[in-house]
Amino acid sequence: MKNNSKIVSNEYLIPFILVTSLFALWGFANSVTDPMVNAFKKVLELSNSEAAWIQMSFYGGYFCMALPASLFMRRYSYKTGILIGLTLYAFGALLFYPAAITEQFWFFCFGLYILTFGLAFLETAANPYALSMGARETATQRLNLAQAFNSIGLIAGLFVAQQFVLKKLQSDNITDFNALDEASKMQIKIVDLVVIRDPYVILGLVVLAIIVLFITIKMPESKDKTSNALIGNTFKKLAKNVRYRNGVFSQILYVGAQIMCWTYIYQYAEGKGIDMATAGYYQMIAFIFFAVGRVFGIYLLRFINSGTLLMFFSFFAIFCCLGIILFKGILGLYCLVCVSFFMSLMFPTIYGIALGDLNDEESKIGSAGLVMAIVGGALMPKLQAIIIDVGGNDVNDITIFGVSEINLSFTLPLICFLFIAHFGYKIGNLSLKE
């Protein structure tokens, strides 16, 4: 049945616009980091598994800080949480400057770890805030609309990575970088690490300017009237809520699948003889598909319940993954690009479903669990990297069951989408019964 309620009521329009601007900010950080996995692999001569520490650091920060951020904002305000998040964001990005001087991989990982402390604060505040700005029946549509701004950040971040990093990496222009003498490799390494450093340092300075804006802008606060409730009781209620538990697990799998598909598009393209800069164009198209899919999803949610639509999008994502695995030519890369269209709906929809039957107190704590679920982006790419490294550091060292190791590694996101489809099916049936 068509829902005629406003997605965003007039009284919340301005604060909604301000909050959704943050979605673009962390989208930028996400997309500019994905290509860095392969960049660090080449510059520092790492294995795929070693380079995966970039994603482990990035998404591990979410897991460690999401609950503390939620507890903080349970006592204080969203605006204070946002300011702390932006400060940590800027500090982590600026750490790339000393990291480039020391040329230590762990230092770059530490900078990303601190940066995502800030992102955990921002996402923990912005997602439930967007959900609350209007009628409950349009909450999922509203979050999908806010997440559309995330797509803008994704495209902008990839553009910066492609134009100002990937195209300037000297190590990517050399056929056999490992064959160079140590002096030549050292010279190239110094130059390339500066190339990697600069976007993050500039980003850190931009975020500092945004902090000033947030300090000066009067922003309505959302104070939780139930903040004095016993937190232990809240945890018990959430633990007993099957819908919420399945939502958190689905979110872990979704984020893992998303990051695997976006991070290893470069390795997949490498297996087809495509350089990183050109692979960036394919990822750009994937992000555009992601943005279009989200707009399309918002429209469909007015006619189809969120669980059923999640199930259908998951089925199409599964078919794309089968193409990624089985097709040996460029068609597999096309399937890897197309899967982003069907992933577009998943994060905000799972988020909205999981929090759909919770009160304000439970939502505030429950949102932390869903942000912590972003740890899937740390764990799953690491597992995929181990599969890719089975035959060696290259992506096509061996074939397994007739397909290359890079192709077979995309079995992992396929399995993730199978569970998400099941979750959507159960929620869709429940909605029909209600």
3-state DSSP of 354-384: HCCCCCHHHHHHHHHHHHHHHHHHHHHHHHH
Domain CATH code at residue 383: 1.20.1250.20
Does residue 2 lie within any of the structural domains? no
Does residue 1 lie within any of the structural domains? no
Those residues of the chain that have pLDDT short of 70 are 1-5, 175-178, 219-230, 430-434
- The torsion of the CA quartet 44, 285, 159, 388, rounded to 10 degrees, works out to -10
The token pair at 220 is 């309505």
* The pLDDT value given to residue 9: 72
* The pLDDT value given to residue 222: 59
Does residue 129 lie within any of the structural domains? yes
Does residue 78 lie within any of the structural domains? yes
* The pLDDT value given to residue 230: 64
* The pLDDT value given to residue 226: 46
* The pLDDT value given to residue 225: 47
* The pLDDT value given to residue 320: 97
Residue type present at position 182: E
Compute the 3-state secondary structure of the chain and give helix, strand, coil in percent, each to the nearest 5: 80, 0, 20
Does residue 4 lie within any of the structural domains? no
The token pair at 46 is 């790492």
Q: CB of 347 within 8 A of CB of 297?
A: no
Does residue 118 lie within any of the structural domains? yes
The total number of structural domains that make up the chain: 1
* The pLDDT value given to residue 127: 74
Does residue 5 lie within any of the structural domains? no
* The pLDDT value given to residue 219: 67
Does residue 196 lie within any of the structural domains? yes
User: Which domain, by its residues, includes 55?
Assistant: 10-433
400: which strand partners?
Answer: 403
